[in-house]
Amino acid sequence: MNTHILSTAAYRRAVSIRDLTDPGQGPHALQLLVDAIRGALVDAWSCAALVRRSNPVVPIEDNYDRLHYPPDGAAREARYTRYVSDRLVLRTQTSAMIPPLLSSLDAATPRDLLLLCPGIVYRRDSIDRLHTGEPHQLDLWRLRRGPRLGLDALADMIAIVVGAALPGRAYRVTPARHPYTVDGVQLDVEHGGAWVEIGECGLALPELLRECGHDPARVSGLAMGLGLDRLLMLRKGVEDIRLLRALDPRVSMQMLDLAPYRAVSHQPPVRRDLSIVTGAELSEALLGDRVRSELGDDAACVESIELVAETAYAALPPAARARLGLTPSQKNVLLRLVLRHVDRALTSAEANALRNAVYSALHEGPRAEWAEDG
């Protein structure tokens, strides 16, 4: 497998990003959301609770193998995962904390225990108002010795969590397969007349419990993973995920509570259309990852990149192929780039520099078209 190891600069940037769920790195509303969910579950179940955090660099085994992902699963591919070495990754899910945590529990563990694993995770994802390459997740696992936890207990857990995180919201569950659960479901809530996914859950896989030292004949569990950024945006009515990290005091002060978000004046958007030459394998997730790697902190100025159209080599007339310098293994892609700083207006020079940086990150053709001031 081509692991496409991260460069030192990309690794350092990734691990320097603030984990908004960690009180040790400053207060944030995401922490209040975790506390509300924990409090509601502990009150309802009268159980003990254990919060665990860990380094985001984890062994491949914890991120995939011990969670029963297949050896040839697509999730392991470098287009989805940021590999640090041939045996380490930046975790793609907070579930990576679960196998080591389960293995650390012993006979002194309370008979009924809620495990909470919040933290930042790392994805190769598209760029738009709802997605980021470093989202936050929360894994919730209930472990109980004695009466078995079944589908009724799972339904109870879902109702409690939605009620605590998004009071009054309608929700639904649909079947979904996860390698570390049985009878898995996807959890959606109603928002603006549509259904929005907020997480996944199911009964803990008995084989996983056994491999972590717990006899499935005596111990059972529930497993749930939630997207915290999405939950907070729905709770507060925030439309742009970048606002969760905004430095403008008018915004950042509102990210310290769970009250509805009061919109501040929007900065004007700057739109640019880009015609680029790229390899045939380009996807929106890979596109987003390349832009984040190239722009670094300036990627926060990119509100969205939309893949408007793509034309394969064979579908282009000879004159267009020659003009673009296209080879048979490449394609011509039209992108719509929207630039908007969340804190201030961009100057024309800044917008053109950002446009050119995005173009440089994505264009693979021999002829370039640069934006210039003047």
Does the pLDDT at position 221 exceed 80? yes
Residue 313 to residue 329: CA distance in whole angstroms:
7
Chain mean pLDDT for the chain: 92
Place of tokens 């649909």: 174
Low-confidence winner among 88-102, 151-165, 344-358 (lowest mean pLDDT) = 344-358
Band (pLDDT 50/70/90 cuts) for residue 219 is very high
Phi and psi at residue 287, in whole multiples of 5°?
Answer: -60, -50
Residue 148 to residue 248: CA distance in whole angstroms:
49
- pLDDT at 289 (0 to 100): 80
Q: Where are the domains of the chain?
A: 8-236, 270-362
Place of tokens 């950024």: 229
Residue 205 to residue 174: CA distance in whole angstroms:
18
Which is nearest to 151 in space by CA: 210, 202, 200?
Answer: 202
Does the pLDDT at position 265 exceed 90? no
Does the pLDDT at position 179 exceed 80? yes
Query: Please, is 109 exposed, middle or buried when counting C-beta atoms within 10 Å of its C-beta (0-12, 13-18, 19+)?
Result: middle
- pLDDT at 294 (0 to 100): 84
- pLDDT at 373 (0 to 100): 67
- pLDDT at 44 (0 to 100): 98
Does the pLDDT at position 109 exceed 70? yes
- Which fold, 270-362? Alpha-Beta Plaits (3.30.70)
Calculate mean pLDDT across residues 23-29: 97
Does the pLDDT at position 284 exceed 80? no
pTM for the predicted model, two decimal places: 0.85
Calculate mean pLDDT across residues 254-283: 89
Does the pLDDT at position 126 exceed 90? no
- pLDDT at 363 (0 to 100): 93
Q: Which CATH class is domain 8-236?
A: alpha beta
> Which tens digit of pLDDT belongs to each residue from 182-202?
999 999 999 999 999 999 999
Which carries the bigger pLDDT value, residue 374 or residue 242? 242
